[in-house]
Structure 1
Amino acid sequence: MTDALPHATPGSPRLLLGIDTGGTYTDAVVYDEDARVVVAKAKAPTTHHDLSIGIAGAIDGAVHAAGVDPARIELVSLSTTLATNALVEGSGRPVAAVIIGFDDEVIERGGLRDALAGDPAILLTGGHDPHGSERAPLDLDRLRTEVAAVADRVDGFAVMAQFSVRNPAHERAAAAVIREVTGATVTASHVLSEQLNGPRRAVTAILNARLVPIVDRLVATTERTLVDQGVHAPVMVVRGDGSLVSAAFVRERPIETILSGPAASLVGAAHLTGLDDAIISDIGGTTTDIAVLRTGMPLVSTLGATVGGHRTMVAAVAMHTHGLGGDSQVHHDDRAVGAVLTLGPRRVIPVAQLAVTHGAVVRAAMDRQLVADRPDDLDGVFVVLLDAVRAAQVVDADERSAIGAVTTGPAPADGAVAPAATVMTSAARRRAVERLVRRGVLQLAAFTPTD
């Protein structure tokens, strides 16, 4: 979908390209900075299995509609809701937390248990006092043993040591050992924030570690796609407070991109409307975001953004984010008395969209469900294989069994899609599917407001 807008001046010397990758659509605009007008815009579905398809479609559509040479673009600005969506939906990558100098009670404070969501936590002696002096030696031998034991279950590590903002030596030493043993990415809490409050700093580090693979993939795909499209301009990324930072920065600190998309929407709304004071509601496929413009600038929460129920130490636009969008899953609670429907927070593929590419599977399953004796909570739900490469690397027996049920579904010619009722046949299989969805290996399709 493309539009060349009126009053465009494609001959102006300074052209910028804006890209926003959301949970449902990827948008691109060509902007004439001298004339301060949008020259052209385009929209393409976000293709989660291969982000380059949606990004390339949006870029190509916008540049073609603008009628400009891609080489003339001087700067690319990227915003995204992928990080926000992952936290709202609880679909970030699995990580292990290495917590140094705290006792078991720390896990119960500051939302740390919720942030861990069942992922492993390794508690070690060590840490420093408020003056930066070592309280106890760091047990590196035990760290090596415990890290090796969980390495095949996680995609990254978060390290938090007591008073690391006063002395980060133990966090740095632990991070070095983890990289040596596993080769995995490591987030150290002192890098993300200099504020006190160990549990909240730990939560921020865990969430950052969850987002590293997601945002790194987005940035790498965007940079590669831009080159393929003939755009050789530097890429900057919109941070959660509306400012721009380098792509290299957000690859290490993806937590800074939470609320990036909504922050960009606020700036855009101010520009397009000319209003200095307004309440802005941004309704997307995954979330609804509400924020305030005051004197032409978005209000920023310096105390830390809260997303998906997690309070972070990241400065971002003061925004209320709800897991409610066009692609939020509609649930039917068959255990409740009467018809009880709930909406969200998980984003799924709309059944209507799935039917376009896998019509035979969808129709056959729903025809059977319509004549069944009683409804089931998996009616109208389908499981889609999202990442075949990572699926082939799965070692857990229940997870492999679930993947096998998808890839050998009732209509193999239609691709790797199967009714959830044939995949999630036991409690163990349901848990396996949930884990695989969270890791981005599988995706669910179900009824949504879009349908």
Structure 2
Amino acid sequence: MSSSTKSYLIGVDTGGTYTDAAVMDAATNEVLASAKALTTRGDLAVGVCEAIERVLSALGGDSAAAASLVRLVSVSTTLATNAVVEGHGSPVCVVLVGFDETMVQRSGLSSAFPGLVVERIAGGHDHNGGEAAKLDVAALADVVDKHGAAVEAFAVASQFAVRNPAHELAARDFITGKTSLPVTVSTELASALDAPRRALTAALNARLISRISLLIKAVQHAMDRFGIDAPLM
């Protein structure tokens, strides 16, 4: 196959110890080269760049020319799984809309994630989807001002949000409008009526999402560095 018709796929897998990279022929799915580098937890881009640089070199020939033939980059990781197993996670603020203290206790947030920031504000809906109370936007603003600089993500869960997600979505839009932080809303992850359990699920996702975001940014940095113009999956 001539170089003008070649095309490659690159796979990157970042684990707790090593980051692996492999190049496949896009037409035949044959693995053409593979390489490994240490995962650099302090700056994931270092390990990702090293793995991609090594795998492009392992192809032989001009690495820059090979990079120009990449048509897709796929990334996978066990970082989130490792964080769950090891009890690690990013600092998060959980905003509970329309929750009373009993619902907070039922959620198990404090025991599951010691030190987690949990804030309650007025709002929420009833079992028919009607508004039980107005969303307290002023209280939400205070929460964001108080914790926005100290956390890496927010999670939002609202009473009966599966019947009407309006307050969760409004809270998400407000937070993203005031910060650049990721926001997880419970109804994006679960459809159960059990608001305390949805809150726990949203909190877990929020604790992990910033770590995955860092990995994606690291891979994008490596793609820019090596001139890889391809979709990232």
SS in 2 for 1:43: strand
Aligned partner of 1:217 in structure 2 is 214
The answer on 1:93 being equivalent to 2:86 is: no
1:115 touches 1:206 (CA, 8 Å); kept in 2? no
Q: In structure 2, which of residues 19, 30, 35 is the aligned counterpart of residue 37 of structure 1?
A: 30
Matched residues in 2 for 1:216 and 1:10: separation? Answer: 37
Aligned partner of 2:228 in structure 1 is 231
Matched residues in 1 for 2:163 and 2:87: separation? Answer: 32
Distance 1:60 1:197, change over 3 A: same
2:110 touches 2:116 (CA, 8 Å); kept in 1? no
The alignment's TM-score, normalised by the length of structure 2, stands at: 0.87
Q: For 1:125-144, list aligned pairs within 5 A.
A: 125-144=122-141
Matched residues in 1 for 2:68 and 2:125: separation? Answer: 52
Q: For 1:43-442, list aligned pairs within 5 A.
A: 43-67=36-60, 69-236=66-233
Matched residues in 1 for 2:167 and 2:91: separation? Answer: 23
Deviations 1:183-229 (A, max 9, x none): 54322222333343222221221122222321212111111211211
Aligned partner of 2:6 in structure 1 is 13
SS in 2 for 1:129: coil
SS in 1 for 2:49: helix
Structure scoring higher RCO (CA < 8 A, sep ≥ 6) equals 2
2:109 touches 2:116 (CA, 8 Å); kept in 1? no
Structure 2 alignment gaps of length 5 or more:
none
1:95 touches 1:154 (CA, 8 Å); kept in 2? yes
**Aligned AA (1:170):** H
Deviations 1:291-337 (A, max 9, x none): xxxxxxxxxxxxxxxxxxxxxxxxxxxxxxxxxxxxxxxxxxxxxxx
Deviations 1:17-60 (A, max 9, x none): 11001111000001124333211100000111222221111111
RMSD: 2.3
Distance 1:181 1:61, change over 3 A: closer
1:109 touches 1:199 (CA, 8 Å); kept in 2? yes
Q: In structure 2, which of residues 15, 18, 33 is the aligned counterpart of residue 25 of structure 1?
A: 18
What displacement does 1:126 show? 1.9
Structure 1 alignment gaps of length 5 or more:
1-8, 237-451
What displacement does 1:146 show? 3.6
2:45 touches 2:218 (CA, 8 Å); kept in 1? yes
SS in 2 for 1:235: coil
Which stretch shifts more, 86-95 or 112-121?
112-121
Of all paired residues, the percent bearing the same amino acid is 45
**Aligned AA (1:108):** Q
1:10 touches 1:32 (CA, 8 Å); kept in 2? no
**Aligned AA (1:214):** R
1:112 touches 1:200 (CA, 8 Å); kept in 2? no
The alignment's TM-score, normalised by the length of structure 1, stands at: 0.47
1:94 touches 1:155 (CA, 8 Å); kept in 2? yes
